[in-house]
Amino acid sequence: MGLLRAGSGAFLLSFVLGSAAVGLATGKAPAAKDSVTANGYTRKWWKEAVVYQIYPRSFQDSNGDGIGDLKGITSRLDYIQKLGVNVIWLSPHYDSPNADNGYDIRDYRKVMAEFGTMDDFDALLKGVKQRHMRLVLDLVVNHSSDEHRWFVESRKAKDNPFRDYYIWKPGKADADGKQLPPNNWTSFFSGSAWKLDPETGEYYLHYFAEKQPDLNWENPKLRKEVYDLMKFWLDKGVDGFRMDVIPFISKDQGFPDLTASELPHPEFKYAMGPRLHEYLQEMNREVLSKYDVMTVGEAFGVTLEQTPSLVDERRKELDMVFNFSAVRLDQDNGKWRDWTLPELKAIYAEQDQKLDVHSWNTIFLSNHDNPRPVSSFGDDSEAFRVASAKLLATMLMTLKGTPFVYQGDELGMTNYPFKGIEDFNDIAVQNAWKELVPGKVPADVFLRNMSRTSRDNARTPMQWDGSAQGGFTTGSKPWLPVNPNYATINAKQETVDPDSVYHYYGRAIALRAKTPALVYGDFKDLDPPNPAIFAYTRTLGTASYLVVLNFSGKPAEFALPEGVKAGRLVLGNLPASEAKPAQAGGALQMQPWEARVYQQ
């Protein structure tokens, strides 16, 4: 993963080569050794990059069938490039019957027909490279679709050569001789994680939908198949993988029942199985080490204490993982919960403390599985939507770790005004409704929680302009309704408005790209218990930046601690007139949802 050939985009390259690097600390151009480390970190292109996630179904439809597709994405590459991002992560684009919108793969080497053809994929990859960006694919290999050829074979007979590609077990009989699943493991999409298959009378394991049987990583043939399919895409020139629930691939072969206290959060038992490290090291040795790529694992069920064992660069497993503490702060198992700013700050502080220079972090507040950040962590009311979306952008681009931006967040897109169960598409919501309502949870309580926490909030189509269906499709029926606020929140008007959320994202991304201290600099929270203000410094040598964020709808004062000064304002989310008086008597007067970054 050589650094020099890795710079993606002109500004990154100048960062790598130019005096802006550790030269900032010395005031001189960096010495040769400085180009490989900064503040103790090994420099890597993916540490210095900003990633933009695309959920293809909802990004841009090019043929009027109401479903986003690859040609649609290619037609929007200039828009993405102008934001200044360096990497695109594409959610699954593979052939799939869509039980879970592509996270159930039928053929790992084929493009989903609804999304286009392999030629369309090649054109997309070429367009990404031409714009000096990189493309990272989703690797979904904890499970496949039940329509995958392997599973079609596997379920046929106990002695089928593909039987051991999946996890099959006989059931247990209760006292009355009734057939029960092998253990009490539950699926994340409701009910048992085991499904009885009539063909052979055995159960197969599925942590997610019944149509997503878990693959058996104990089988070396299966592992080889996975490594080969990874090479297939890497040889096309893709730049790495986001790995879906990768910590789940190794199962405890004792298949013990979950205890009552483990049942509410089975992810902590399913993750970090006994052979996980062995598999990841093998994958790294056999595949990843041969390419200049980045990997980011979805670390659902992984504690912060366990994280270095996956991402410490000396272990040669993964480059980074997604830790869920921040993004899930406002929910527990789909139930909305109030959160406080000190809780959020404590998460980032702890991440900073527990990950040393050998382990790199990710920074994100959303993805296709979570609600819109401006609705969860900001304030999506008319008064504060724009300011709070910009404040969140400021935080994402100034914390330590690679920032991930989910499509539409750069416009300040909001949650959807769901009314009834029929408004939801997500299999997780539909299954939970069947299991819980009305016996266990009243319908109105269920719907109120889901409207705040559901994954569908992130999946409504991109809002490109003020025309019908927000310019997402020329057809009359997008696969999921467009948020009715598309007339006021859309890319067309934001790209012409220099004060838009979109252009603010661009400025924040550009600032990070040219400021090594915001990438590698030390992080220090200046006032952890402050309930309204998140204020921190990022320091690299003599270069130091002060970030002050007012996470509230009320004005707030922030008294500058001893030795901290607010020097030159390099980024701010309010027009100067509103921001005044900026400083009075050693204190900053912050307007509601105001964000400022100062060079000290």
Answer yes or no whether residue 61 interacts with Ca ion by CB under 5 A: yes
Answer yes or no whether residue 117 interacts with Ca ion by CB under 5 A: no
Q: Select which of 138, 244, 317, 319 is catalytic.
A: 244
Determine the 3-state secondary structure of 73 from DSSP: helix
The listed partner (ligand NOJ, Ca ion, none) that binds 65, CB under 5 to 8 Å by sort, is Ca ion
The listed partner (Ca ion, ligand NOJ, none) that binds 245, CB under 5 to 8 Å by sort, is ligand NOJ
- Whether 147 sits among the annotated catalytic residues: the reply is no
Rounded distance, CA 380 to CA 489, Å?
12
> Which residue, judged by CB position, is nearest to ligand NOJ in the bound state?
103
Q: Per CB under 6 A, which of residues 291..320 are in contact with ligand NOJ?
A: 298
Answer yes or no whether residue 120 interacts with Ca ion by CB under 5 A: no
- Whether 298 sits among the annotated catalytic residues: the reply is yes
The listed partner (ligand NOJ, Ca ion, none) that binds 140, CB under 5 to 8 Å by sort, is ligand NOJ
| One residue of 14, 26, 63, 75 binding Ca ion per CB under 5 A | 63
Least distance (Å) between residue 100 CB and ligand NOJ: 5
Answer yes or no whether residue 67 interacts with Ca ion by CB under 5 A: yes
Least distance (Å) between residue 102 CB and ligand NOJ: 9
Which residues lie below 8 Å from residue 357, measured CB to CB, with a gap of 6+?
Answer: 39, 40, 41
Answer yes or no whether residue 95 interacts with ligand NOJ by CB under 6 A: no
At 113, which helix (H) or strand (E)?
A: none
Rounded distance, CA 134 to CA 520, Å?
21
Measured in degrees and rounded to the nearest 5, phi and psi for residue 63 equal -125, 15
The interface mask with ligand NOJ, positions 137-176, x = CB under 6 A, is ---x------------------------------------
Q: Which residues of 178-204 are buried (b: 16+ CB within 10 A; e: fewer)?
A: eeebbbbbbbbbbbbbbbebeebebbb
Which residues lie below 8 Å from residue 363, measured CB to CB, with a gap of 6+?
Answer: 396, 399, 400, 401, 402, 403, 404
The listed partner (Ca ion, ligand NOJ, none) that binds 244, CB under 5 to 8 Å by sort, is ligand NOJ
| One residue of 245, 287, 374, 597 binding ligand NOJ per CB under 6 A | 245
| One residue of 15, 41, 45, 103 binding ligand NOJ per CB under 6 A | 103
Answer yes or no whether residue 426 interacts with ligand NOJ by CB under 6 A: no
Terminal CA-to-CA distance of the chain, rounded, Å? 34
Rounded distance, CA 381 to CA 425, Å?
25
| One residue of 100, 197, 409, 494 binding ligand NOJ per CB under 6 A | 100
Answer yes or no whether residue 432 interacts with ligand NOJ by CB under 6 A: no
DSSP string of 387-407, one letter each residue: HHHHHHHHHHHHSSSEEEEET
Rounded distance, CA 283 to CA 38, Å?
28
Cβ contact 463:483 at 8 Å: yes
Answer yes or no whether residue 70 interacts with ligand NOJ by CB under 6 A: no
Q: Select which of 48, 104, 214, 298 is catalytic.
A: 298
Answer yes or no whether residue 456 interacts with ligand NOJ by CB under 6 A: no
Both tokens of residue 237?
């020139």
> Please, what sign has the CA dihedral across residues 296, 297, 298, 299?
negative
Q: Give whichever of 45 and 189 is closer to ligand NOJ, judged by the CB atom.
A: 189
Answer yes or no whether residue 549 interacts with ligand NOJ by CB under 6 A: no
Rounded distance, CA 228 to CA 515, Å?
39
Of the candidate spans 54-62, 409-417, 422-430, 497-505, the one that interacts with Ca ion by CB under 5 A turns out to be: 54-62
Rounded distance, CA 276 to CA 282, Å?
10
Burial class (CB in 10 A: 0-12, 13-18, 19+), 105: buried
| One residue of 15, 46, 208, 479 binding ligand NOJ per CB under 6 A | 208
Answer yes or no whether residue 69 interacts with Ca ion by CB under 5 A: yes
Question: Which residues are catalytically annotated?
Answer: 244, 298
What does the binding site for ligand NOJ look like in residue numbers (CB under 6 A)?
100, 103, 140, 208, 244-245, 298, 368-369
What does the binding site for Ca ion look like in residue numbers (CB under 5 A)?
61, 63, 65, 67, 69
